Structure 1
Amino acid sequence: MTARLLEGKIILIVGASTGIGADAARVFARDGASLVLAARSEAGLRTVADELTAAGTPVAWVTGDVSVGADVRRFVDTALERFGRLDGAFNNAGLTGAGMLHDVSEEDFDRIMAVNVKGVWLCIREEVRAMSGGGGGSIVNVSSIGGTRGSSGMGAYQATKHAVIGLTRTAAHDNGPAGIRVNAIAPGPIETPMLQKTREAIPGGVEARIAATPLRKAGTTTEVGDAAGWLLSDRASHISGVVLPVDGGFSS
């Protein structure tokens, strides 16, 4: 019998209480990982953790704000205290936001940058700290197809997702000698509560993008989790610094 893709791995998921993060947790559990779940919402985390624990997956969970360094350190320390090491991390926490760049408030700009950019940097920093002493590991950051191109109406969000790609590629260079792989996934439209907010903010925008997608559909959170799980696994052992589109062919 072939071993499951993440058998024996200790994986941290940041932004695990809903949407892509929650379903990635289900995918990683299916594939044999033990999990540390982190997010701001205690209620959401409890729901996911209780479900997976009942199904036999070893799970720890911790609440906190990804833009606060002490909180992110607790995320990683929870993995080390509960499981003794950290093999992989899926940095998924993020905010969306719509509006022309010249209409975005300074407060909104600062908040989306704090979560989507500073938060990813803090996660990488703490995860590298844990992995460097344990023989390496794999980090997957969530960017977006919006981080690979320009379009009107979501400029601040797109700027953060461009930044995530820059952080990913730099971290791959910085940490490759320690055996740490760093990659990103770039989802197109994925059916989540966040996508519904975009539909409401930009009427017709999501449907136009789906219509321009070769597969003619939005993706699912499970499909994103499958892609991330493969990058976290040993089957992607010589892949680092890559931005993998999960977009139904939209970027092709």
Structure 2
Amino acid sequence: MASDDTATQWPDDGEQDDGKPDSVEQRGVAEDGAKRVPRRYSRRRLITTGAVAAGAGVLAGAVGGVALVGGTAPTPLLQPSGRRRFAGKVVLITGATSGIGRAAAIRFAEEGGKVAFCGRRRELGREVEQEIRNAGGEALYVPADVRVEPDVQRFVDTAVSRYGGLDVCFNNAGITVQKSVHEYTVEEWDNVQSTNLRGAFLSLKYGVPHLVARGGGAVVVTSSANAVATSGGKGAYAASKHGLIGLVQSAAHDYGADNIRVNALLPGTTDTELVRRAAGTENLPDAVWARMADIYAKNTIPDVKRLGTADEMAAAALILASDDLPFMTGAQLVVDGGTTSFAG
């Protein structure tokens, strides 16, 4: 799909954006409904988008419900590990109403964690909370906007008050607005930085004192493979994700003596709502999306030939947050199917 901007401008990670649903005519993804550049999909546009190899017949068949043979690598179904690495621990997650954050909340709870998470979409937040509780886990949803300092402070204080402390912070909330640099409004630029970078700072600011009081803990920050290599149309997003790497490295030095490890998770392109919306395809039939993602993966993830899953990224976040890697801090874990190492 490299011949079309729909493909080349997908974000290379899938962290929860926690925004309101966009229409198929909207190109950017913004948490507060900020102005976006219209993108209209005519039938001809759909047929030619991403140089769909099988042509109009494939997409027409997809819309008609005909099964598509993608030819990509099979996507593994990850099962609960059965381990209890977070038994008795309190886990704080930002942006967990869908995507990687949601998957992580479920997995932390499966491993015994008491999970407090935030997000703006109340209905989805309550759904995730109930899903975890129905499975026998412990979860608390707190509506909060990571751009708003009092919201973040209230979120952290509510979680600590409920569960008596804090052991893990997964700073995951993020959004993207994609266009050439000069086309951003100042509001759009600031919104991306405020959500992705400032939001992580605020989570650290109010979370770290509780980790110190606990005698140590772990912080995981969702950056992106875009912090290693990016492409056009991602100026605001890539800048925020590069900034997160610097924040993680400095924070690791700040709190190493307090027995707090701080690491960054760098997801590659992940099949989540954020990625689908950034591609402007959230209102297309699932079969059409699957075919577009199939072709994109073949062209840009040549070794694995598929998108990552939210569960795979969540599993990586749990590894970083666990006690399995006690000597790892200030580091970056890239989980991108080999994309950033590909020289072809």
Which residue does 1:228 correspond to in 2?
Answer: 317
What is the CA–CA distance in structure 1 between the aligned matches of 2:299 and 2:210, rounded to whole Å? 43
TM (normalized to structure 2)?
A: 0.69
Unaligned ranges ≥5, structure 1? none
C-alpha deviation, 1:208, in angstroms:
4.2
Higher relative contact order, structure no. (Cα contacts within 8 Å, ≥ 6 residues apart): 2
Aligned residues: 250
Question: Any idea what the Cα deviations from partners look like across 1:117-143, whole Å, max 9, x if unmatched?
Answer: 110110111111111111011010000
- Assess, with a 3 A threshold, how the Cα gap between structure 1 residues 42 and 168 changes in structure 2: closer, same or farther: same
What is the CA–CA distance in structure 2 between the aligned matches of 1:245 and 1:207, rounded to whole Å? 22
What is the CA–CA distance in structure 2 between the aligned matches of 1:125 and 1:28, rounded to whole Å? 22
Which residue does 2:61 correspond to in 1?
Answer: none
Structure (1/2) with the larger strand percentage? 1
What is the CA–CA distance in structure 2 between the aligned matches of 1:218 and 1:93, rounded to whole Å? 20
C-alpha deviation, 1:236, in angstroms:
1.6
1:237 alignment partner AA: P
Which residue does 1:16 correspond to in 2?
Answer: 96
C-alpha deviation, 1:160, in angstroms:
0.6
Sequence identity of aligned pairs in percent? 38
Calculate the aligned-residue CA RMSD, in Å. 1.9
What is the CA–CA distance in structure 2 between the aligned matches of 1:39 and 1:242, rounded to whole Å? 26
What is the CA–CA distance in structure 2 between the aligned matches of 1:3 and 1:37, rounded to whole Å? 21
Structure (1/2) with the larger helix percentage? 1
Query: Which of these two proteins has the greater Rg computed from alpha carbons?
Result: 2
C-alpha deviation, 1:76, in angstroms:
1.2
C-alpha deviation, 1:5, in angstroms:
2.5
Question: Any idea what the Cα deviations from partners look like across 1:192-223, whole Å, max 9, x if unmatched?
Answer: 1111122238xx89954652322111000000
1:172 alignment partner AA: A
Which residue does 1:150 correspond to in 2?
Answer: 230
Give the secondary-structure state (helix, strand or coil) at the position aligned to 1:231: helix
C-alpha deviation, 1:3, in angstroms:
4.6
TM (normalized to structure 1)?
A: 0.94
C-alpha deviation, 1:94, in angstroms:
0.8
Deviating 4+ runs (over 6 angstroms): none
C-alpha deviation, 1:6, in angstroms:
2.0
Which residue does 1:165 correspond to in 2?
Answer: 245
- Assess, with a 3 A threshold, how the Cα gap between structure 1 residues 25 and 212 changes in structure 2: closer, same or farther: same
Question: Any idea what the Cα deviations from partners look like across 1:30-86, whole Å, max 9, x if unmatched?
Answer: 222111011111111100001111211121221111011111111211221111110
Which residue does 2:48 correspond to in 1?
Answer: none
Which residue does 1:99 correspond to in 2?
Answer: 179
On the 8 A contact 1:15/1:39 being kept in 2, the answer is yes
2:272 alignment partner AA: T
Which residue does 2:140 correspond to in 1?
Answer: 60
Which residue does 1:181 correspond to in 2?
Answer: 261
2:279 alignment partner AA: R
